[in-house]
Amino acid sequence: MTKQSGNNQNLDLGVYPSISDPLFKKLRDFIYVRTGISMKPHKKVLIANRLRKRVRNLGLSSYDEYYNYLIENEAIELENFIDSVSTNETFFFRGKDHFDVLSQFLLPELFRKKDRINIWSAACSSGEEPYTLRIIINDIISSLGRGVAKIIATDISHEIIEKAKTGIYKNYSTRFVPSATLKRYFQKEGEVYKLKEAVKKGVQFKVQNLLHDRPPDNNFDIIFCRNVMIYFDRKTKQRIADDVFAEVLQPDGYLFIGHSESLNYVSSRFKYVRKLNAPVYMLK
């Protein structure tokens, strides 16, 4: 591709890069159409920061030039673009009350009614959430003496899914794991913790775009999709809740979303269920 000049901002290492307002609007529109994520205006610096490395790796001289490259080579560049702009902040046992509700009430309840349950960890990031689910479920099954649980974890980012599959985490990710759990399910190797194979094998990871791809299965008892809805506008939230999750959740199943999120006045198919102050929803 021929490099362009003119109004391009040079990505000199000594100069903090910027994205023009017209270009940021194009990038926002592109992100929204491909992922459903609504980028607010104040995210311009964040997007510039995240794309800077990719622009340099391609040997391009500006963000404008990168946008042209992305449009002309979407089939091969879209994956890299999504990996660059995705947010993947998470850790084990994040939102402890969710897991308390699960272990104290919902899992025992579900296993009283059925021998097998299916769980979907949507937008799972680097795997801490689905692995936490696996650990908790293994403990519950051991306590009950019966039960089988299948966990499918999905994320839009190929790169982050590959990272999740390794099951290797630094201290930051494991800082809230109880010591007994850490000893039972992890192996310390230098500065990192490696999940034992019994946990790793208990989660199936897949790349999936919530907005455009089919769900990984059509029969779930529990769906986790936490701290994701905050990136969507109301229309996209409703589409994902009512046209995706509601279609694959069992009538007695549960949907978990983040503490800062709500489906009230958004979804016509879900109702709020109060469980230990955790945001949990069921089908109406």
Confirm whether 213 is a catalytic residue.
no
pLDDT of amino acid 230: 83
Residue 179 in this model has a pLDDT that exceeds 70:
yes
Catalytic residue among 52, 94, 155, 226: 155
Q: How confident is the model at residue 17 (pLDDT cuts 50, 70, 90)?
A: low
Percent of the chain exceeding pLDDT 90 equals 66
The beta-strand segments (E) located in 46-147 are 116-121
H-helix or E-strand containing 163? helix 158-166
Q: What pLDDT sits at residue 5?
A: 37
pLDDT tens-digit map of 95-123: 889 999 999 999 999 999 999 999 999 99
50 counts as catalytic: yes
At 97 the three-state DSSP class reads helix
Q: DSSP secondary structure string, 71-95?
A: HHTHHHHHHHHHHHH------TT-S
User: Does residue 91 carry a pLDDT above 70?
Assistant: yes
% of the chain exceeding 70 in pLDDT: 93
Report pLDDT digits (tens) over 242-253.
Answer: 999 999 999 999
Q: Is the pLDDT of residue 273 over 60?
A: yes
Q: Is 110 exposed, middle or buried (0-12, 13-18, 19+ CB in 10 A)?
A: buried
The answer to whether the predicted template modeling score (pTM) of the entire model surpasses 0.75 is: yes
Q: How confident is the model over 144-168, as pLDDT tens digits?
A: 999 999 999 999 989 899 999 999 9
Domains of the chain: 21-85 (1.10.155.10), 96-283 (3.40.50.150)
Q: Exposed e or buried b for every residue in 77-105, given b needs 16+ CB within 10 A?
A: beebbbbbbbebebbbbbbeebbbbbeee
pLDDT of 1 above 50: no
Most confident of 3-12, 130-139, 257-266: 130-139
pLDDT tens digits, one per residue of 214-223: 999 999 999 9
pLDDT at 16: 39
pLDDT at 10: 47
Average pLDDT taken over every residue of the chain: 89
Pairing, β 278-283 against β 220-224: unpaired
Cβ–Cβ contacts within 10 Å for residue 124, how many?
A: 31
pLDDT at residue number 88 = 67
Q: Active-site residue among 34, 50, 184, 239? A: 50
Task: Report the C-alpha gap between 271 and 255 in whole angstroms.
Answer: 10
As a dihedral over the C-alpha atoms of residue 218, residue 223, residue 226, residue 229, rounded to 10 degrees, the angle is 40
d(CA 148, CA 137): 9
Q: How far is CA 102 from the centre of its chain?
A: 19
